[in-house]
Amino acid sequence: MAQLNFGGTVENVVTRAEFPLSKALGILKDETIAIIGYGVQGPGQALNLKDNGFNVIIGQRKESKTWDKAIADGWVPGETLFEIEEACAKATIIQYLLSDAGQITLWDTIKKHLTPGKALYFSHGFGITFTERTNIIPPKDVDVILVAPKGSGTSLRRLFLEGKGLNSSYAIYQDATGNAFDRVVALGIGVGSGYLFETTFKREVYSDLTGERGTLMGAIQGIFAAQYQVLRDNGHTPSEAFNETVEELTQSLMPLVAENGMDWMYANCSTTAQRGALDWWKKFRDASLPVFQDLYSEVKCGNEAQRSIDLNSQDDYRVKLDAELKELRESEMWRTGVTVRELRPERNK
């Protein structure tokens, strides 16, 4: 583990150079990893672990869409694909990758298979941080660890196949065996992390819920919608409004930010663009700062967690979710996006 200076703050990080895949495989050579849940994170983490040479099995309900998806991905019933309880019984490491609501529902089933010395792995600190709301309380004689890739399981898998990595945080909530650090870092390397940075379950969930509701998803959609509406209200065509709001950002500017930072992106734009961005960014910061402060407060006090538990546990949750996603999908802005994407040169080769 190395200590690196980030903006004046020293953090603990683990890189693939100091903790290579060969070391990770050696540490987990006698372990059986059961992936419980094959939805958002499950496929990417499971397939990356398998391709990296780890002993992986899947635990999933039979006759479900995700069971069929697992088979389509190459997992074999009775060999690497099992019912949830059978997979948990076989495993020494249980990767609990169901949705937060799903984890609450299935907890009593999982808990009885957490025999001494096993490891319980999360990719989200929700269940442990808000334990008074989830009732997820692990036995004291198992390791409780976390690896949280900073992106979707789809991105984790895509970058792995490209020979790249997606950065992840790691945390140890409970070290019952004395080997929790080696286990969690080996798993982090195994799932395809670029580098691993240390956190806690609580910090992970607070930052994750804030990010999802903020710049990663909620805020960016709100900003897109507001700018698109202003442009349309002032007579700009859908194509022009979408290109200036979304397409140029995602296809041209964000890759420059990812490459070398915001100043690099500014330096590669016109002087007129630079001047305007430098004049206006603090106004946007000052306008949005109270919203983010309110958001973080709602996350920290548990209100956002409780809202997720209440709504995502309802029987008609999926129906309501589909209706909300349909509203986004059928808005003029994102219908325009479908057409614009079809016109990209790579789609027309």
Residues assigned a catalytic role: 124
Nearest Cα neighbor of 174 from 135, 208, 211, 137 is 137
* Residue type present at position 307: R
Nearest to 331 by CA among 241, 214, 254: 241
Q: Which of 5, 11, 8, 68 is closest to 38 using CA atoms?
A: 68
Contact 338/247 with Cβ under 8 angstroms? no
Block residue for tokens 């992986």: 56
CA distances from residue 87 to 54, 80, 112, 290 in whole angstroms, order as listed: 15, 9, 13, 46
What is the C-alpha separation between 216 and 206, in angstroms, rounded? Answer: 14
Query: From the CB of residue 274, how many other CB atoms can be counted at a distance below 10 Å?
Result: 15
- Considering just the CA atoms, what is the radius of gyration of the chain in Å? 22
Nearest to 83 by CA among 119, 115, 59: 59
State the Cα–Cα distance between residues 222 and 244, nearest whole angstrom: 15
The Cα 114–Cα 172 span in angstroms is: 17
Q: Are 148 and 323 in contact (CB under 8 A)?
A: no
Quick one: tokens of 19?
């903790």
Amino acid at 165: G
The kind and range of the H/E element at 47 are helix 42-51
Query: Going edge to edge, which strands form the sheet with 56-59?
Result: 2-6, 9-15, 193-198, 166-174, 143-149, 119-122, 93-96, 33-36, 56-59, 81-82
Among candidates 191, 194, 37, 27, which has minimal Cα distance to 127?
A: 37
